[in-house]
Structure 1
Amino acid sequence: MLVPVFWMGLTSFKSRADAIAVPPKVVNFTPTLEGFINLLTDRSVLNARRLQTQKERTDLNWYEKIALENGQQITGVSEYVGRLRNSIIIAGTSTILAVILGLLAAYSFSRFKVPGESDWLFFILSTRMLPPVVVTIPIFLMYRQLGLHDTHLGLILLYTVFNLSLTVWLLKGFLDEIPREYEEAAMVDGYTRLQAFRKVVLPQALTGIAATTVFSLIFAWNEYAFALMLTTERARTAPPTIPTILGRGGVEWSAIAAGSLGFLIPVVIVTFVLRAHLLRGVTFGAIRQ
């Protein structure tokens, strides 16, 4: 499973020629930042202005300075940076909303008698049963009418709704394992329901919340079909952008590998930060007393 990731990282540090060499080069190549430079700098305009003053050169980013030293023309930062920023905004916001709303819904299903609870839970789960391609066209037409096409809000709402089923079901399982007696004892001591939820339930549910957050973030971060069909320029995310990275000589495989590597890093960082909670969360409730 790690072999593709290893090969992707290896390719990102190869030159254009080494990336397409036959047979493939594993160790007998000279590492270079050419892939990252081609990814991060926009050199589509061949007659770009030359930097004349020292200030213009000082204001360059590190990858632009390397490109300039190699005699390459600089026109600005590539669209990949903006698309990666869109991914962070959309995936992060939708994950936070899905976890908050899912936590409240899961708490209601776990602690109160909801009429038709099983039917509601099945309905919530059914929103994930249809493949995205089945509902893409209807959502596209609806978004065009509502003015949500190619907007951050449109994708945030969509990802939040699709993640709700996951968050509700996961968090309900975690909350069911927390004894109700803790809350009842807190309310006997004068806590309100909200105070008991905030001071008693939430601290014990942190592991489950962390695990649910990671799973929700992975879906929103990696989602491809909706991002491809429902956006064009302004709100397009990184997944539909990476396969379209082209250079003057055709497909830039080293730049695509560099873009994929950069796209992988934020999720790895989040998972690493939450790893302790995540490991406890995925096994929480597995053993019953």
Structure 2
Amino acid sequence: SRTVYPPGELPTEEEVARMKWYERIVYRETNEEVIRLGDLPRRYLNSIIICSISTIITVILGTITAYGFSRFKVRGKDDLLFFILSTRMLPPVVVVIPVFLMFRFLGLTDTHIGLILLYVAFNVSFAVWVLKGFIDEIPTEYEEAAMVDGYSRFQVFRKIVVPQATTGIAATAVFCFIFSWNEYAFAFLLSRKIAQTVPAWLPYQMGVLGYDWGAAAAGTFIFLVPVMVFTIILRKHLLRGITFGAIRK
């Protein structure tokens, strides 16, 4: 006979060892229960919208800015790049209070646009730093030849640089998406109902009678699916991109 555990109770190690292999799998009923939860689909959609849009904006801004730093002479370039990267080194908790006060003043709390702008602000510095390394490796001779043929600077960037930096862009997009998808602190403090994401919603499932570990495990697995799919789709570019930007002649 199969032992049925209350929602807030987990089996001991001895009981797990005695289980058959199929009993260790999350039961189908648990997954169906999670899907039926009224709040999870909405929070899941919020996470997809916020993370996807913020990643796209971050990659676009990061690619343009990195190209400018790589190809143009900027006074104090190294110091400016270090300052840009240093903003990413700060843990989110350091700026929680000023960000919360600013968002409340601007009316951006519990809004999709607020979290999108916040994730873009935190990720764009990382994107600029990483993408500059990739663009530095692209020979300038291609761009010079294209400009001799009558290409404008923007056409050179769009038709020459961006296609050759695809691996770097894909790798950067994966890391930015994962950061936004897993982010908890700001999502918890700056959203309640309308724009709440899955990481901020899961802790609220702790009830008075305990935590439903089966539903939590199933919900967490469902939450990880987009990251796995996104990484698998871009795995080819990701593996090439991790080392390409670090190569120096």
Match of 1:22 in 2: 12
Structure 1: runs of 5+ lacking an equivalent: 1-13, 43-77
Partners of 2:44 and 2:54 lie apart in 1 by 15
Q: CA deviation at 1:15?
A: 6.3
Partners of 1:250 and 1:39 lie apart in 2 by 16
Match of 2:243 in 1: 283
Counterpart of 2:30 in structure 1: which amino acid?
Answer: G
Deviations 1:228-256 (A, max 9, x none): 11111111100011233246853110110
Q: 1:285 to 1:149 in 2, by over 3 A?
A: closer
Partners of 2:5 and 2:215 lie apart in 1 by 9
Checking the alignment, whether the CA contact within 8 Å between 1:124 and 1:165 is kept in structure 2 is: yes
Checking the alignment, whether the CA contact within 8 Å between 2:69 and 2:132 is kept in structure 1 is: yes
Match of 2:227 among 237, 255, 267: 267
Question: TM-score under structure 2 normalisation?
Answer: 0.91
Q: How does 1:131-150 map to 2 (within 5 A)?
A: 131-150=91-110
Counterpart of 2:104 in structure 1: which amino acid?
Answer: R
Counterpart of 1:41 in structure 2: which amino acid?
Answer: R
Partners of 1:241 and 1:33 lie apart in 2 by 22
Q: Which structure is higher in helix share?
A: 2
Checking the alignment, whether the CA contact within 8 Å between 1:16 and 1:254 is kept in structure 2 is: no
Partners of 2:64 and 2:24 lie apart in 1 by 54
Q: 1:167 to 1:16 in 2, by over 3 A?
A: farther
Counterpart of 1:36 in structure 2: which amino acid?
Answer: N
Match of 1:221 in 2: 181
Q: How does 1:68-217 map to 2 (within 5 A)?
A: 78-217=38-177
Checking the alignment, whether the CA contact within 8 Å between 2:47 and 2:181 is kept in structure 1 is: yes
Partners of 2:119 and 2:85 lie apart in 1 by 14
Q: CA deviation at 1:278?
A: 0.7
Counterpart of 1:92 in structure 2: which amino acid?
Answer: S
- Give the structure, 1 or 2, with the largest relative contact order (CA under 8 Å, sep 6 or more): 2
Match of 1:71 in 2: none
Partners of 2:212 and 2:199 lie apart in 1 by 16
Counterpart of 1:255 in structure 2: which amino acid?
Answer: A
Partners of 2:101 and 2:24 lie apart in 1 by 50
Deviations 1:146-181 (A, max 9, x none): 100110111000000000111000000000000111
| Secondary structure of 2:32's aligned partner | helix
Partners of 2:68 and 2:125 lie apart in 1 by 14
The sequence identity of aligned pairs, in percent, is: 57
Partners of 1:159 and 1:197 lie apart in 2 by 25
Tell me, yes or no, if structure 1 residue 38 matches structure 2 residue 50: no
Counterpart of 1:39 in structure 2: which amino acid?
Answer: V
Partners of 2:155 and 2:170 lie apart in 1 by 21
Q: 1:141 to 1:30 in 2, by over 3 A?
A: closer
Counterpart of 1:220 in structure 2: which amino acid?
Answer: S
Q: CA deviation at 1:126?
A: 1.7
| Secondary structure of 2:89's aligned partner | coil
Q: 1:15 to 1:257 in 2, by over 3 A?
A: farther
Partners of 1:170 and 1:286 lie apart in 2 by 9
Deviations 1:175-216 (A, max 9, x none): 000011110011111111111111111111000000000010
